[in-house]
Amino acid sequence: MKIAISNDHTAVEMKKAIKAHLMDRGIQVTDMGTDSPESCDYPIYGEKVGRAVASGEADLGIVICGTGVGISMAANKVKGIRACVCSEPCTARLSRMHNDSNVLGFGARIIGIEMAKMITDAWLDAEYEGGRHQRRVDQLMEIENR
């Protein structure tokens, strides 16, 4: 399993903690930055992870900014990406099971590192159910072609 991860300046410490957590789980992590606390623009980093996942370079992606919103929006602009912002594990789990989310977002100014780890684990431990959800996921992705 390969995961691409990125963040803006608000989330350097949280990114490092989640990266270490992923590696502890035996996951190969591609860190797409930033490692600097200097103010930067989250769209650049959301797009990087979106493109890594859409191209197959990574299986899944994790993006972190202050709220998780802007960087997830950026990832979602890449064709093939289904990113969702989560502040608790239940939404993360269901986003995999029902929506086949392929990028997870969270906010370093919204949740703490322990909650971020719990959300990450819930997301990684869940599996897409397919079945009745596939039609809806297909419809979601067809929007990109209109």
Q: Which residues are catalytic?
A: 65, 98
Identify residues 33-62 at the interface with ligand RB5 (CB under 6 A).
42
Distance (Å, whole) CA 130 – CA 137: 9
Determine the size of the site formed for ligand RB5 (CB under 6 A): 8
Q: How many CA atoms lie within 13 A of 54 on its CB side?
A: 16
The nearer residue to ligand RB5, 89 or 107, going by C-beta atoms, is 107
Q: How far is the CB of 6 from ligand RB5 (least distance, A)?
A: 12
Instruction: Write the secondary structure of 19-73 as one string of H (helix), E (strand) and C (coil).
Output: HHHHHHCCCEEEECCCCCCCCCCHHHHHHHHHHHHHHCCCCEEEEEECCCHHHHH
Identify residues 76-135 at the interface with ligand RB5 (CB under 6 A).
none
The nearer residue to ligand RB5, 42 or 123, going by C-beta atoms, is 42
Binding site for ligand RB5 (CB under 6 A): 8, 10, 42, 65-67, 69-70
